[in-house]
């Protein structure tokens, strides 16, 4: 059984584990985020963290959170961990008083499908911040 827990990215041990999970899930395809900013979660299988996600204040959309990263270890894929982490992010965004969450995906069909399952909608930001083939997602917090 998996458990989702918010963790303190400013804690050195937590930041080290986040960095390890990031390396194991993204390899060298994405830069390592600053774990001392924003909110971070682990999905635990027993006592082992097997997935992570992060939410920071958006620098592109007013009063919104930016779902900045999610990674799930290969052997734990297909168990709805990204969706469960998204629910935790959304609860935090509501507590923060943010009116929406935005994010993006590039060439990642599985992640895009999870955004659709979680009720996110595609949108075109006024100032796109990523790659030409990037899809932009937004969900209004109700």
pLDDT tens digit string along 85-122? 999 999 999 999 999 999 999 999 999 999 999 999 99
pTM score, two decimals? 0.95
pLDDT tens digit string along 41-98? 999 999 999 999 999 999 999 999 999 999 999 999 999 999 999 999 999 999 999 9
Burial degree of 53 (CB within 10 A; 0-12, 13-18, 19+): buried
Long-range contacts, 113-119 (Cβ 8 Å, 24+): 114/82, 114/83, 114/86, 117/83, 118/83, 118/86, 118/87, 118/90
Contact 111, 64 (CB under 8 A): no
């Amino acid at each position: 059984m998996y458990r989702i827990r918010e963790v303190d990215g400013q804690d050195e041990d937590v930041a080290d584990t986040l960095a390890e999970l990031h390396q194991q899930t993204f390899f060298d395809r994405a830069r390592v985020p600053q774990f001392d900013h924003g909110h971070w979660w682990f999905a635990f299988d027993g006592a082992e963290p097997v997935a992570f996600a992060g939410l920071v204040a958006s620098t592109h959309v007013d009063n919104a959170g930016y779902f900045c990263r999610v990674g799930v270890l290969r052997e734990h894929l297909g168990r709805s961990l990204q969706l469960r982490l998204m629910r935790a992010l959304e609860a935090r965004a509501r507590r923060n008083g943010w009116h929406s969450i935005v994010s993006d995906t590039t060439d990642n069909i599985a992640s895009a499908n999870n955004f659709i399952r979680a009720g996110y909608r595609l949108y075109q930001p006024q100032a796109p911040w990523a790659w030409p083939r990037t899809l932009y997602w937004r969900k209004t917090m109700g």
